[in-house]
Copies of this chain bind each other. A is one copy, B any other.
């Protein structure tokens, strides 16, 4: 039987987690480590700083798992109860490790620390046969202890930087050697634009039942991802397992896939424009600068982005972008005619190879029956004065920030598709 057949669990200890004062980033970080090691990991629990409740949970976990990783409750304050509760769970006693007390005094640069400073000294007490996990970034050490055969506990402080260093320097090797078989998980994520989660999911129904690699969909505002995960002995073997599935997906979805792993629509566009040695400029109305800032948040954007005009009033659309008052009066600022003129004029004035203009109604107010909240016009002007006009009507459940964000996504993805069909 594999040493990890019953799996690893994570127990996060701290009343501040139950009060919602902090987000449990530790559990995520450890989960990621366990995935990479290919360990079975079926459950996570969070409890407060209460000795009886900690004991109850630990006893439950000891009956169903091989390995328990705890975070929190190792410090000097009275509500730090983890080590004591773990010992009590198995009717064990705690004994002082005198060298740890010397170490704490050294760490605090205070060799005269009163030996009866019981709150700090508490951190030196451990069950008899526990192995210590050094804490290079704080005073509270952790431990590795096997209270009953086939069940091991590892304890870490709740401070993320301390926990991570202790994991990397001491725990990782132990967990890998003792609990991991020689297999690990490797992932490769494909990223989609211009297609909804349910449309993707419906077309890959057969892939969702695969065992190795597995395929899992994730969705966020305007973004769909498929993660392909292989269980393999090494990177090379994983790539071989992932390859046929990835190739099938690339063939089936072709242009809907814009990139992989850390790619974003922005980074893909910047890369493509840099390769073509072309520049881009924007004229923004309803997105109010979000299109520009989504591009300039990325290092390297100055290679391709020259600038933009954010014209939030009709007056500035006239004075900065030369949209005639007649045109504004006749069609309104939110219209294909005005948006197209914005794109052509900003391209000219800011001297870009490409220009995107956007005008719409982000709400919550400002809508009318003819032009409701969620109506957005996008125009893309390219070399040779080629113009693409797009009209979007976002769902009425969308709020202002969603309409702005989705509009930016449509801008970026539309330009990506134009560049694809217009390769140099």
Contact = CB atoms under 8 A, between A and B. Distances in A.
A366 B302 CA distance: 10
Interface string A277-295: 0000010100111111101
A299 B365 contact: yes
A301 B366 CA distance: 12
A18 B42 contact: yes
A48 B42 contact: yes
Contacts of A349: 319-320
A363 to B, nearest CB: 7
A177 interface: no
A320 B296 contact: no
Contact of A397 (B79, B136, B288): B136
A16 to B, nearest CB: 6
Given A24-B24, A31-B18, A290-B296, A313 B320 contact: no
A218 interface: yes
B397 A107 contact: yes
Contact of A305 (B30, B297, B312, B400): B312
Question: Could you tell me the dominant secondary structure of chain A's interface residues?
Answer: mixed
Interface in A321-354: 349-351
A18 B18 CA distance: 19
A315 B320 contact: no
Contacts of A47: 42-43
Given A22-B28, A161-B221, 4 more contacts: A42-B50, A77-B201, A161-B402, A307-B316
A3 to B, nearest CB: 19
A310 interface: yes
21 contacts: A17-B28, A17-B31, A22-B218, A24-B24, A24-B28, A42-B53, A45-B45, A79-B208, A79-B216, A137-B397, A282-B310, A288-B296, A288-B305, A289-B295, A289-B296, A289-B308, A292-B292, A297-B401, A305-B312, A306-B316, A307-B316
Given A198-B76, A306-B312, A33 B20 contact: yes
Interface of A: 15-25, 27-35, 41-48, 50, 53, 57, 75-79, 107, 109, 117, 119-120, 136-138, 159, 161, 197-198, 201-202, 205, 208-209, 216-219, 221, 227, 229, 282, 284, 287-293, 295-297, 299, 301-302, 305-313, 315-316, 319-320, 349-351, 363-366, 395, 397, 400-402, 404
The residue among A29, A77, A218 with the most chain B CB atoms within 10 A of its own CB is A77
Contact of A21 (B117, B218, B301, B402): B218
A73 B189 CA distance: 21
A34 B20 contact: yes
Nearest to A363: B299
A42 B44 CA distance: 14
Nearest to A162: B397
Contacts of A221: 161
Contacts of A320: 307, 309, 349-350
B299 A288 contact: no
A60 to B, nearest CB: 8
Contact of A107 (B15, B109, B161, B395): B395
The residue among A117, A284, A288, A366 with the most chain B CB atoms within 10 A of its own CB is A288
